[in-house]
Amino acid sequence: MDTILVVNAGSSSVKFQVFALDGDGPIRRQLKGQVDGIGTLPRLRATGSNGETLADFGYSLERVADVPAALLVAGSWLREEHRVVPIAIGHRVVHGGPDYDRPVLIDHSVVARLERLIPLAPLHQPHNLASIKTVLASLPELPQVACFDTAFHRGHDDVADCYAIPYQLHEEGVRRYGFHGLSYEYIAKTLPTLVPEVADGRVIVAHLGSGASMCALRGGRSVESTMGFTALDGLPMGTRPGQIDPGVVLYLMTVKGMNPADAQKFLYRDCGLKGLSGISNDMRELQSSSDPRAAFAVRYFEYRVGLCAGMLAAALGGVDAFVFTAGIGENSATIRAGIAERLAWLGVSLDEKDNAKHALKISQADSRIPVYVIPTDEERMIAEHTLSVLWSKRPNVGRERAL
């Protein structure tokens, strides 16, 4: 059976999923896994479609010292243990810049363009590209497709995407891009099936995880996002500050003596929940801590989500529904409740029992704005995009065996 391999490479892990193609029918997830602890204690873990354990074993540091090595280990395991030989690989790429507003088939010129965007996504882009270059070097004939976190937001009005700086810089690519687009695209695609009564309306989606942002959807299209030129903007995150006065950065460099590299490391790795609490970047640890600084970090996070909801409501001219998604949004009933309290002015009223059960709809029947919890699936979105790009080039790929 033909398969699509989806790869999401980070600094210390390579996540992967395998999707099977059933002719003209929907793709089907076969397995998912990751190689984590890269550079420290490498370990391969994988589960099947029903959650059964397929792999859980470690490797020596010498064998899995970096992302390319981790990808090769995962590829060997998939090929040797499960006979997975994909017809294509789909990659999550965080930043597509001004050049890419849709998924694209990868070649060396695409890689060169994306490498120029590394300063705009230094935590993600180098590792995304490392996995792509590994496959280009070892399997140059295997189609690879880049799927961008920025692409879904590229239809914004100029008034939403411009900064108040000389317009020449905007034309050079200094503009608001928005991120987590694959997640928002999946939610927008799912709404007509799950909650068709709001799918064409004005919907705020909160993608709340270690990386966090919010998006305003109108008729299933992104019209505004809390993130901008880079993934530092908007909500506070695990280690990133979110919205910050540019004067703070100038202060760090002129008074505190930080050079650009120091400032970049500080803003990407030492701020956010980690910086506020002085304890952890993990919301679960903060919620279980008795330290007042941990409680303050949680309260600050909820407060900023509430503020950004007001901004997005203004962009939409009203709100017809609110959706929680991603790790924190899908799993933390207490965070959802805290945010809902700050949205009471919009008419939000949660149902405590449904919220505790992580139900699809967690608002009360008389809540003026319905509130939903919808698990995201960025990997499925990447697999579908990868298949679409292949079909545009070779219409019968993945269909031959079903015909």
pLDDT at 403: 29
Task: Express each pLDDT in 326-338 by its tens digit.
Answer: 999 999 999 999 9
pTM recorded for the entire structure? 0.93
Q: How distant is the alpha carbon of residue 12 from its chain centre? A: 16
Residue 41 pLDDT exceeds 80: yes
- pLDDT one-digit tens code per residue, 210-268: 999 999 999 999 999 999 999 999 999 999 999 999 999 999 999 999 999 999 999 99
- What is the token pair recorded at 230? 């880079």
Residue 204 CB partners (closer than 8 Å, separation 6+):
214, 215, 216, 217, 309, 312, 313, 316, 319, 321, 322, 323
Is 80 exceeded by the pLDDT of residue 197? Answer: yes
Percentage, residues of the chain above pLDDT 90: 89
* pLDDT for residue 2: 92
Task: Name the more confident of 22 and 142.
Answer: 142
Q: What pLDDT is recorded for position 396? A: 61
Is residue 288 classed exposed, middle or buried when 0-12, 13-18 and 19+ CB atoms within 10 A define those classes? exposed
What would the pLDDT profile of 164-193 be if each residue is shown by its tens digit?
999 999 999 999 999 999 999 999 999 999
Cα(177)–Cα(224) distance, integer angstroms = 10
Whether residue 107 has pLDDT greater than 60: yes
Residue range 365-375: mean pLDDT, rounded: 97
Q: So what's the pLDDT on residue 395?
A: 59
Place of tokens 């929940």: 273
* DSSP label at residue 269: H
| Known catalytic residue at 149 | yes
8 A C-beta contact, residue 45 and residue 56: yes
What pLDDT, on a 0 to 100 scale, did the predictor assign at position 401? Answer: 39
Which of these, 16, 167, 290, lies nearest to 8 by C-alpha position? 16
Which residues are paired to 36 by β-bridges? 13, 43
Collect all residues with Cβ–Cβ distance below 8 Å to 358 and sequence separation of at least 6.
Answer: 330, 331, 333, 373
CB atoms within 10 A of CB 67: 26
pLDDT of residue 11: 76
Query: Would you say residue 40 has pLDDT above 90?
Result: no
Q: How far, in Å, CA of 248 to CA of 245, rounded?
A: 6
Find the mean pLDDT for residues 74-101. Answer: 94
- The single-letter code of the amino acid at 344 is A
For the record, the structure tokens of 112 come out as 């060169």
Q: Which residue has the tokens 């059933």?
A: 22
What CA–CA distance (Å, rounded) separates 112 from 101?
17
pLDDT at 297 exceeding the cut of 80? yes
pLDDT value, residue 400: 47
Over residues 372-402, the pLDDT tens digits come to 999 999 999 999 999 999 988 765 655 543 3
pLDDT value at residue 261: 94
**Are the beta carbons of 164 and 158 closer than 8 angstroms?**
no
Q: Can you give the pLDDT at residue 46?
A: 95
Residue 52 CB burial class (10 angstroms; 0-12, 13-18, ≥19): exposed
Asked if residue 227 lies in contact with residue 177, where contact means CB atoms within 8 angstroms, the answer is yes
In the beta sheet, which residues pair with residue 323? 205, 372
Flag whether pLDDT at 145 surpasses 90.
yes
Record the tokens describing residue 91, joined without a space. Answer: 């990659």
Partnered with residue 215 across adjacent β-strands are 205, 225
Which tokens go with 146?
């880049």
Bridge partners (DSSP) listed for residue 371? 322
Q: Which amino acid is at 58?
A: G
Cα(290)–Cα(292) distance, rounded to whole angstroms?
A: 6
Q: Which among 24, 36, 66, 149 is annotated as catalytic?
A: 149
Average pLDDT, the chain: 94
In degrees rounded to 5, what are phi and psi of residue 323? -125, 130
Q: How far apart are CA 190 and CA 378, in angstroms?
A: 12
